[in-house]
């Protein structure tokens, strides 16, 4: 009997330590970051944790999610580029942004710089991702965007995947040869899909929700609308440590699930819960059950 009680006490201590060791070190900062009032700029009225405006108190939000308010527009600077914030979703942990060089009623306007999915794949970069962290199998994470590629070719290309010019502004080209043929392609990301006489000049991202998945049936108007709509990024990865002592992901109901990659222990917090009010009260001498997730 005594042996059984000793095991229960030790097991309880280990499990509580797994849940509490990380939150304890950061409790004051995290709570302050969460309790600040929402800010607004232009048409974005819900700027709150983890986001902050540059004019907000220092204890609000995370510095890596700092936004600025310029000419009554919410701005995000990312990889040296300037983007206008179109929407922040706290239901699925995404932000939608648009290239600052794009003008809705100007079909000749183009982004001034490229952005690749590769930018977000660097090992140290986790604040934003181009995929949604759904489930525990990273290979099945749904992508939030697709690529628009500006091509420059030595010879004409006869392919339904290559849109001819699309009012492509040559001033934005990195290749000055006016005798080259220029195209826009949608969704091409593999080198094997690029014609032999062509090379990639610029790449952009878009999350425009279209019903037609066939690139061959996309018009130049569609391409412009895709750039005007912008693209979505997930910011869940950068706030996992505010909800979980380990890593986290979303279940099908967009609730945050926590897991510790080293132990395989997983447990559920609601979408609006935080670790400081989500840690369960364990009854003394009671049985503790924590589901094990396959990572």
How would you class 184 by CB atoms within 10 Å of its CB: exposed for 0-12, middle for 13-18, buried for 19 or more? buried
- pLDDT tens per residue across all 295 residues of the chain: 444 444 444 444 444 444 443 433 333 344 446 679 999 999 999 999 999 999 999 999 999 999 999 999 999 999 989 999 999 999 999 999 999 999 888 887 888 888 888 788 765 567 999 999 998 887 888 999 888 888 889 988 888 788 886 755 554 444 455 678 888 887 766 677 788 888 888 889 999 876 555 666 778 888 889 999 999 999 998 998 888 887 889 999 999 998 765 444 444 544 333 332 333 332 222 222 222 222 2
Tell me what pLDDT residue 110 has. 83
Residues 6+ away with beta carbon under 8 Å from 153? 180, 181, 182, 183, 195, 197, 198, 199
CA neighbor of 110 nearest in space, from 100, 119, 118:
100
Tell me what pLDDT residue 49 has. 95
- Cis ω for the linkage preceding 50 (within 30 of 0): yes
Tell me what pLDDT residue 284 has. 28
Tell me what pLDDT residue 169 has. 54
Tell me what pLDDT residue 128 has. 93
The answer to whether residues 58 and 48 touch, using CB atoms and an 8 Å cutoff, is: no
Tell me what pLDDT residue 39 has. 96
How do 52-53 and 231-234 pair as beta strands? unpaired
Tell me what pLDDT residue 151 has. 86
DSSP state of 284: T
- Provide the strand spans (E) within the chain: 39-41, 44-47, 52-53, 66-70, 73-78, 81-89, 94-99, 146-153, 162-164, 181-186, 198-206, 231-234, 247-250, 256-259, 266-268
Tell me what pLDDT residue 43 has. 95
Tell me what pLDDT residue 8 has. 45
Q: Give the phi and the psi of residue 138 in degrees, each rounded to 5.
A: -60, -30
Q: What are the CA-CA distances from residue 54 to residues 75, 76, 126, 151, 217 (Å)?
A: 10, 11, 21, 38, 43
């Amino acid at each position: 009997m005594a042996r059984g009680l000793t095991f229960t006490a030790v097991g309880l201590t280990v499990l509580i330590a797994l849940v509490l060791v990380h939150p304890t070190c950061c409790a004051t900062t995290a709570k302050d970051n969460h309790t600040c009032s929402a800010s607004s700029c232009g048409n974005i009225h819900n700027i709150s944790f983890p986001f902050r405006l540059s004019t907000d108190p220092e204890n609000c939000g995370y510095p890596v999610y700092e936004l600025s308010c310029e000419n009554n527009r919410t701005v995000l600077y990312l990889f040296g580029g300037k983007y206008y914030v179109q929407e922040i979703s706290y239901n699925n942990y995404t932000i939608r942004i648009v290239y600052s060089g794009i003008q809705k009623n100007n079909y000749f306007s183009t982004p001034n710089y490229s952005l690749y999915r590769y930018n977000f794949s660097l090992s140290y970069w986790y604040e934003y991702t181009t995929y949604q962290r759904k489930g525990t199998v990273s290979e099945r994470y749904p992508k939030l965007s697709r690529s628009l590629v500006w091509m420059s070719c030595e010879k004409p290309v006869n392919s339904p995947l290559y849109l001819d010019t699309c009012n492509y502004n040559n001033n934005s080209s990195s290749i000055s040869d006016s005798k080259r043929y220029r195209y826009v392609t949608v969704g091409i990301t593999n080198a094997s899909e690029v014609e032999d006489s062509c090379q990639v000049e610029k790449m952009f991202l878009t999350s425009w929700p279209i019903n037609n998945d066939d690139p061959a049936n996309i018009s130049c108007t569609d391409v412009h609308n895709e750039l005007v709509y912008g693209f979505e990024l997930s910011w869940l990865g950068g706030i996992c440590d505010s909800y979980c002592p380990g890593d986290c992901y979303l279940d099908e109901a967009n609730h945050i699930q926590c897991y510790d990659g080293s132990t395989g222990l997983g447990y559920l917090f609601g979408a609006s819960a935080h670790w400081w009010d989500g840690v369960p009260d364990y009854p003394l001498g009671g049985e503790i059950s924590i589901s094990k997730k396959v990572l």
